[in-house]
Amino acid sequence: MDRKRILVVEDHPINRKLFVLLLDGLGYDIIEAGSGLEAIDQARAVRPDLIFMDLSMRGITGHEATVRLKTDPATKDIPVILCTSFEPESELVERALSAGAAEVLHKPISAKSFQEVTHRYLSSE
């Protein structure tokens, strides 16, 4: 049986490692990307089952990466969960949801929240 894959996209290495640690032990393969461009390349190459992506990154933002992923037939069906410290009502959050992000998690994110969202999108039957 193939293990499901999660792509974790975060440009700050410490935050990325924290996200990976929060997801570790759930039985999924974790792939990491440090930028929006790397996320797009990894998503096309690996075809993860779920993407957790920081909204505010240098270069291509999480919003821009989501737009590109959602307009690409090869990646459009992969759920993208954006992670941000922006307020829920912020324009950037609204634009990201309009671009096709499945939902937004607001930092700080608890291990329980990561687990609940992961299980909601990748529950094994």
- Each residue of 102-113: pLDDT tens digit? 999 998 888 889
CATH number of this structure's domain 5-122, picked from the four choices 2.40.160.20, 3.40.50.2300, 3.90.1150.10, 3.90.79.10: 3.40.50.2300
Q: What's the pTM?
A: 0.93
Query: Which tens digits make up the pLDDT trace of 68-117?
Result: 999 999 999 999 999 998 776 778 888 889 999 999 999 888 888 989 99
The alpha carbon dihedral of 69, 88, 29, 10 has a sign of positive
Q: Please name the residues in contact with 98: beta carbons below 8 A apart, sequence gap of 6 or more.
A: none
**Please, are residues 77 and 84 in contact by the beta-carbon 8 Å criterion?**
no
Query: Interior CA angle at 35 toward 33 and 55, to 5°?
Result: 105
Left (φ > 0), alpha (ψ -120 to 50) or beta: where does 8 sit? beta
**Domain assignments of the chain as residue spans, ordered by start:** 5-122
Question: What would you measure as the largest C-alpha separation in the chain, in angstroms?
Answer: 41
